[in-house]
Structure 1
Amino acid sequence: MEWKVDRQSNKPLYQQVFDFIEQKISYGEFPLGTLLPSERKLAERLNVNRMTIVHVYDKLHAVGLVERKRGSGTRVSTHKWGVLSKGSTNWRRYVEGSTFLPTYPLIKRIREAAKQLENGFDLASGELSSDLFPSQLLQSSLVDESFPNDLSYEHPQGHLGLRETLSAYVKTNYNIKTTSSSILITSGAQQALYLITQCLLSPGDAVAIESPSYCYSLPLFQSAGLRIFGLPVGPNGINPKDIEDLYHKHQIRMVFLNPTYQNPTGTVLTDTRRKEVIEIAERLGIPIVEDDPFGLLSFKEEKHSPIKSFDYNGNVLYIGSLSKVVASGLRIGWLIGPQSVISRLADARQQMDFGLSIFPQLIANQFLQSADYTTHRKALTQELLDRRNTMISALHEILGEKVSFISPNGGLHIWCKINQKISDEKLVEEGIKNNVLFMPGSVYGFPDGYVRFTYARLEKKHIKDAVLRFSDILSRI
């Protein structure tokens, strides 16, 4: 709910909220039977007193706009009265009956709170802070970029110039050998995952993902009707032998891995295990999907070769992105794989949107070719290292034995175990009340008692205050 009350207006707050909800109902934006937020939650989102919302809901009920039942909440009235036309569609049945599942409630709650966050601390978002965005470098790199002669649809696989640049880019930085014809430009890594689950798998297929894993937070796996099995993540990543075990037990058809600075744990799969994964994939004939958003964000001189760099038989689908290195809003990702797969996914994506806008592709292409990109990436990595060190110092100093964690050597996150019994939902709600956000372990498929802190979203000067705020919350639960 992006709307906010106007505290400078002469109109009373309760009347502003009443008028807003009445308008939403009369415009059909809140159809028949829509469940409205609870009094407490709406009060928190609008930053008003709970009794203000009680008064609003009482007035809406009095004029017949809503129905109220104890234990069932407040819903838009299903009766036919003034502002609704006869024969209104029961959109609730359509919305709730779809096979494409909505975002998990706890994640949705955190994201909504992030939109309303004022004078608080966001340790939940996996994005870079605005001061890390290379706006001046991007602007300077576009000075010589010519405007396209027309704005016709692009090639289904994406702008050829960008695909050629990426072909050279992944060879130089990752030792991945590919050509432009085996690259599909996507709207970020998540679109690549969506296309894979929808086009290459069928309902009932079994897949293996890391545990914990960012993939658990994506309902698209369940929406595709897939059966998910976890591969436990240890200090050195997953154990490749677990892939074989799951294959023999459940006939898994695909494996999804984030082997470098894994989200959320920050662990790195060793080169020995990466080669074992390739050997198992070749022997069993099952593909590996490698998601690699953090590969170039290493705090040491060492480089971690992607699994794809050991792949000589086309068993790995490799996903990359500029979201964690340049900006998430640029929406540039890529998928590298066999040409037959790329062609199939490009066709599916073209049916969805006829391809990406040319403008972000031109920006990405020009920036990746410029010396400014290397300058930015080096500066970014140093700044992330400083923020990681600041957060580690704060965790040791403020939380001490209350949490356990391993310091990551790259990426954006620190994965913490809380050394006391805790309810994730209660912890998150207390965090929202106190303007500090973080991601609980349960959204990554783990039991209560774990949290992921992102040190990339806050400026360094605010990190210690954020940890202090979290510590205060933890001590009161």
Structure 2
Amino acid sequence: MWTPDRSNGQPIYQQIADDLERRISYGEFPPGSLLPSERKLAEQLGVNRSTVILAYAELRSLGIIESRSGSGTRVSKYKWGATPKHTPNWSRYAVGGSFLPNVPFLRRIREALGHNPSLIDFASGELEGDLSPVEEINSLLSGNHFNSYLGYDNPHGYTPLRQSLVSYLHKYRQIQTTESSILVTSGSQQSLYLITQCLLSPGDAVAIEDPSYCYSLPMFQSAGLRLFRLPVDSKGIKPEDIRALYKKHRIKMVFLNPNFQNPTGAVLDPERRARLLDLVSELGLPIVEDDPFSLTAYEETPPPPIKSIDTLGSVLYIGSFSKMAASGLRVGWLVAPHSVVERLADARQQMDFGLSVVPQKLASQFLNSDYFAPHLERLRLRLLYKRDLLIEAIRAELGDLVKFTVPQGGLHLWCKVKPEVNDGKLLEEAIRRGVIFVPGSVYGSDSGYVRFTYARAGEQQIRPGIMKFAAALRAVLG
């Protein structure tokens, strides 16, 4: 975001006025659109409110904006007395359409991080730069030369990458598959989007975990699906709850994250996995298994996916590079029956003609390289260290104010705040003090839960971040 240049000889208010006039002329703020309040804009730009008042006064004197009591400040519809012309009502378009915006808390978190990058970030579910294989990727990039035509690739995904994924899935996840049963996507969310748009219809009922990352994704509601919850305990979901939902609501599909579940960190019990597969085969129900965290298992062999014991083809399996290498590669995959892969590949081709071959080639080389296994080991050790730093800080700074179960893998720590506290007030107070997290209600839980992600914040930030959170919590509790 643009900010004033304090080393410039031009007054700050004039710089703000010039920037707003430029953005208005570019159509970013069309005639009649509402501008930020003086207080909000001052906060965003890190200036005094009086400076913004002067900037707005300058623009009003030029006839560019107009202010009315109770209505805020808007871009003038009749700038300099020009002949009135009709402008599209972009505000109405922006709230229209069938694809819903992110939930308010997630929009607030994104806005806060955008305006203040110095916030200690316990919210973003991605790896810190030091956890990503940056040097290894740079080494692979330096040896890449494209001598052939860089056109649209196979809509199923880059063939060498799908061949590499066959070997990877067999070696690391005990999944037997073929390249024709793999669709390369831009990540787990695109896989979920394609499933909800192409394999389900508006009005269909589906089961998701409670709490669940799926609950935070408006794509389910945008597709017109009815969501029914499967409570998660320390051993994951209970298969019998699926039967009850099927009898009552005729659910069409079950979405699960069985290994180091987001946000709770729970691992689905092996005995429950066997019962689950028996149940869904009896009912003819498909399972969508999202498996982003398994290879981050800290002290044990990673738990096998449900797909590895699926002998009847009941499971659609989703994975990606985001949580084990780099989210910026934008490479994920979906393992499914051939007919499903064909259907989703056709839909994805209509969307974007397939992914760029460049990151796909890089991902294929990384999987086949001598870098991959050592990177996974370093990632596990670093995540374990950061988890322990977080737990130590929470025990020291929060004591009995929070309760949690120590996760054995993944990136998240799920905490119950005692006593219960208002999510919105706690988030705003934490942002004000310089730290950010995700309120538990984003994932369908009652208020009073928080999710701390320890993969994004630097090691030296973890203790100060928890100190800031503790101060915010005590301030809200009074």
TM-score between both structures, scaled by the size of structure 2: 0.95
- Tell me which residue corresponds to 1:341: 340
Deviation at 1:16, TM superposition (A): 2.0
Larger mean CA deviation between 418-427 and 313-322 belongs to 418-427
Pairing 1:106–2:72 present: no
Residue 38 of structure 1 and its aligned partner are, at CA, apart by: 3.6
Instruction: Write the mapping of 1:71-470 to structure 2, written as runs, cut at 5 A.
Output: 73-79=72-78, 86-470=85-469
CA distance in 2: counterparts of 1:74 and 1:101, whole angstroms? 27
For 1:274 and 1:67, how far apart are their aligned partners in 2?
63
Q: What is aligned with 2:29?
A: 30
Q: Secondary structure at the match of 2:232?
A: strand
Counterpart-to-counterpart distance in 1, 2:53 and 2:142: 56
How far, CA to CA, are the matches of 1:390 and 1:470 in structure 2? 15
The 2-side partners of 1:392 and 1:59 are apart by 52
Q: Which amino acid aligns with 2:285?
A: I
Structure 2 distance, partners of 1:84, 1:446, is: 54
Deviation, 1:374, is: 0.5
Indicate the larger mover: 30-39 or 146-155: 30-39
Change in CA separation of 1:256 and 1:203 when aligned onto 2, cut-off 3 Å? same
Contact 1:417 1:451 in 2 (8 A): yes
- Deviation digits for residues 420-441 of structure 1, max 9, x if unmatched? 2322112111222222111111
Report deviation, 1:180.
0.3
Aligned positions, number = 476
Distance change >3 Å, CA 111–CA 82, structure 1 → 2: farther
Once the two structures are overlaid, the 10-residue window that deviates more, 274-283 or 201-210, is 274-283
CA deviation profile, 1:166-209 (whole Å, cap 9, x unmatched): 01101111111110000000001111111111111111111111
Is residue 62–residue 80 contact of structure 2 (8 Å, CA) maintained in 1?
A: no
Aligned identity (percent) is 54
Out of 112-121 and 412-421, give the one that drifted further: 112-121
SS at match of 2:295: coil
Structure 2: distance between partners of 1:70 and 1:189: 47
Deviation at 1:268, TM superposition (A): 0.8
Per-residue Cα deviation, 1:114-144 (whole angstroms, up to 9, x for no partner): 1233443111111111111211112223455
Unaligned runs of 5+ in 2: none
Alpha-carbon distance, 1:113 to partner: 1.6
Q: CA distance change for structure 1 residues 9 and 149 in 2, over 3 Å: closer, same or farther?
A: same
Q: Secondary structure at the match of 1:463?
A: helix
Is 1:404–1:417's contact at 8 Å kept on the other side of the alignment?
yes
Amino acid in the other structure paired with 1:355? G
In structure 2, how many angstroms separate the alpha carbons of the residues matched to 1:81 and 1:207?
A: 56
Offset of residue 78 of structure 1: 4.6
Secondary structure (helix, strand or coil) at the match of 1:228 reads: strand
Q: Would the alpha carbon gap of residues 272 and 352 (structure 1) be closer, same or farther in structure 2, given more than 3 Å must change?
A: same
Question: Cα–Cα, structure 1 residues 118 and 156, in superposed 2: closer, same or farther, change >3 Å?
Answer: closer
| AA partner of residue 112 (structure 2) | A
Unaligned runs of 5+ in 1: none
What is the deviation of 1:51?
Answer: 3.3
Cα distance between partner residues in 1 of 2:305 and 2:146: 35
User: In structure 2, what residue type is equivalent to 1:362?
Assistant: K
- Local SS of the residue matching 1:383: helix
CA contact (8 A) 1:199 1:348 kept: yes
Cα gap change, 1:156/1:41 in structure 2, threshold over 3 Å: closer, same or farther?
same
Per-residue CA distance 1:338-390 (angstroms, 9 max, x = gap): 11011110011101110110110011000000121111110011000000001
Judging changes above 3 Å, is the alpha-carbon distance between structure 1 residues 65 and 277 closer, same or farther for their aligned structure 2 residues?
Answer: farther
- Say if 2:38 and 2:49, in contact at 8 Å, map to a contact too: yes
| Root mean square deviation, CA, Å | 1.9
| Inter-partner Cα distance in structure 2 for 1:171 and 1:476 | 51
- Opposite residue 160 of structure 1, the aligned amino acid is T
Q: Aligned in 2, Cα 1:210/1:39: closer, same or farther, shift over 3 Å?
A: farther
Alignment-mate amino acid for residue 364 of structure 1: A
Equivalent-residue separation in structure 2 for 1:336 and 1:103 (angstroms): 27
Q: Secondary structure of 2:184's partner? A: strand
Q: State the 1:89 CA deviation.
A: 1.6
| Preserved CA contact (<8 Å) 1:120 1:435 | yes
Structure 1 residues 92 and 272 mapped into 2: Cα distance closer, same or farther (>3 Å)? same
